[in-house]
Amino acid sequence: MESPEKIKEMVREKYSAIATQNKTENAASCCGATGCCDTIDYAVFAEKYDALGGYVSDADLGLGCGIPTEYAKIKTGDTVIDLGSGAGNDCFVARALVGEHGKVIGIDMTAAMITKARDNAEKLNFNNVEFRLGEIEVMPVGGNRADVIISNCVLNLVPNKAAAFKEMFRVLKPQGHFSISDVVLAGELPEGIRQAAEMYAGCVSGALQKDEYLKHITDAGFENVQVMKEKAIVIPDEILAGYLDAAAIEKFRAGGTSIYSITVYGEKPKAEACCDPSTGCCN
């Protein structure tokens, strides 16, 4: 696998290409932008959004692996931050929940996605949704800003996941919370998949073991961490064949390794009381 910066550039390139397509085009081609069948089919992961309030079909590229707003406990007037906001799909669903007096901020590191999301918001005349270009490990947002953080199948693409969860903790208000959908593993992936950059961008080879993923969350300081939803993901043999021979595919199927999409909820604790008036509060 490449260096973190090389990985980020590869992800930017792939998702910049995907930004030029719609959901139907992404689903029709096995690997979204490239039009071939040697990498992940995003339809394997995607959930149906069309019955949700605030849903905007032009913003749905079918790239998620859950519906994070389902467990996000978003209230009217909340400030919500969406990590890896893409064309704006989850932001617009969140906007329907926060109402006219709330605020939604989408963050994405791909300029083409930011442009597409801003165009979508402008067409809809939404003045309380904004999109910022930036990376999740160093968010372009001040501390203690958000009531709720959501994210949909994005943190598995971040090379430094520990830093990403620490940034989430910084940006959330005390007693704020998050709801994130993501891809995790139980068991080891074959070497051919783990070393494939395309499978990283396809949300598989960058996934952590489930226990390790949850430990990063608690290590960042979050409490009441719960897996709210879990769904097994089966990668079709025709996709695996781009990386493994028939014997390796059979061994992988028999080896007990599982790929899951999960939606995780967690809370930032209440701020500590001011402990030293001369230096300011502890938080």
Question: Is the pLDDT reported for residue 28 higher than 70?
Answer: no
Give percent of the chain above pLDDT 90. 57
Question: Is the pLDDT reported for residue 174 higher than 60?
Answer: yes
Question: Is the pLDDT reported for residue 41 higher than 50?
Answer: no
Question: Is the pLDDT reported for residue 42 higher than 60?
Answer: no
pLDDT digits (tens, 9 = 90+) for 139-153: 999 999 999 999 999
Average pLDDT in the chain: 86
Question: Is the pLDDT reported for residue 25 higher than 80?
Answer: no
Per the model's pLDDT, the better-predicted residue between 273 and 57 turns out to be 57
The pLDDT-based confidence of 32 (bands split at 50, 70, 90) is very low
| SS3 track for the chain | CCCHHHHHHHHHHHHHHHCCCCHHHHHHCCCHHHCCCCCCCHHHCCCCCCCCCCCCHHHCCCCCCCCHHHHCCCCCCCEEEEECCCCCHHHHHHHHHHCCCCEEEEEECCHHHHHHHHHHHHHHCCCCEEEEECECCECCCCCCCEEEEEEECCHHHCCCHHHHHHHHHHHEEEEEEEEEEEEEEECCCCHHHHCCHHHHHCCCCCCEEHHHHHHHHHHCCCEEEEEEEEEEECCCHHHHCCCCCHHHHHHHHHCCCEEEEEEEEEECCCCCCCCECCCECCC
The pLDDT-based confidence of 276 (bands split at 50, 70, 90) is low
pLDDT of residue 30: 37
pLDDT digits (tens, 9 = 90+) for 67-101: 999 999 999 999 999 999 999 999 999 999 999 99
pLDDT digits (tens, 9 = 90+) for 191-230: 878 777 666 566 677 889 999 999 999 999 999 999 999 9
Q: Note if the pTM is more than 0.75.
A: yes
Per the model's pLDDT, the better-predicted residue between 74 and 189 turns out to be 74
pLDDT of residue 198: 64
pLDDT of residue 4: 82
Question: Is the pLDDT reported for residue 33 higher than 60?
Answer: no
